[in-house]
């Protein structure tokens, strides 16, 4: 994701490229991330994010930073990309 951030430019195009890069629509990765969140922060934290995919990434990253030895955290650039994609998805 950090590489996509470095490309900058059309966020819609970056979103499309990112979806193509993630295998199986991200389901295996999402399952892994969900387990990390539940094991670290609890099921309630997961449910409270309300299905917001951008918040899901932030929540996972919070869990990963707590349990660094078990779960890899996203880089700062990756999280900046998540924030930009969220902003572009809610803009006008």
Domains of the chain: which residue ranges? 2-90
Question: What pTM was estimated for this model as a whole?
Answer: 0.77
CA 91 to chain centre: 19
Quote the pLDDT of residue 46: 93
Per-residue pLDDT of the chain (92 residues; tens, 9 = 90+): 666 666 666 767 777 777 777 766 677 889 999 999 999 999 999 999 888 999 999 999 999 999 999 999 999 999 998 998 898 887 65
Angle subtended at Cα 37 by Cα 16 and Cα 41, rounded to the nearest 5 degrees: 145
Q: What residue ranges in 19-76 does DSSP mark as E strands?
A: none
Residue 9 in tokens:
């430019």
């Amino acid at each position: 994701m950090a590489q996509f951030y470095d490309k900058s430019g059309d966020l819609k195009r970056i979103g499309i490229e990112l979806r193509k890069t993630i295998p199986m629509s991200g389901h295996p990765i999402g399952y892994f991330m969900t387990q990390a969140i539940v094991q670290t922060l609890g099921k309630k934290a997961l449910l409270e994010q309300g299905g917001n995919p951008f918040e899901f990434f932030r929540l996972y990253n919070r869990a990963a930073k707590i349990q660094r030895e078990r779960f890899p955290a996203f880089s700062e650039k990756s999280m900046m990309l998540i924030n930009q994609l969220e902003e572009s998805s809610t803009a006008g």
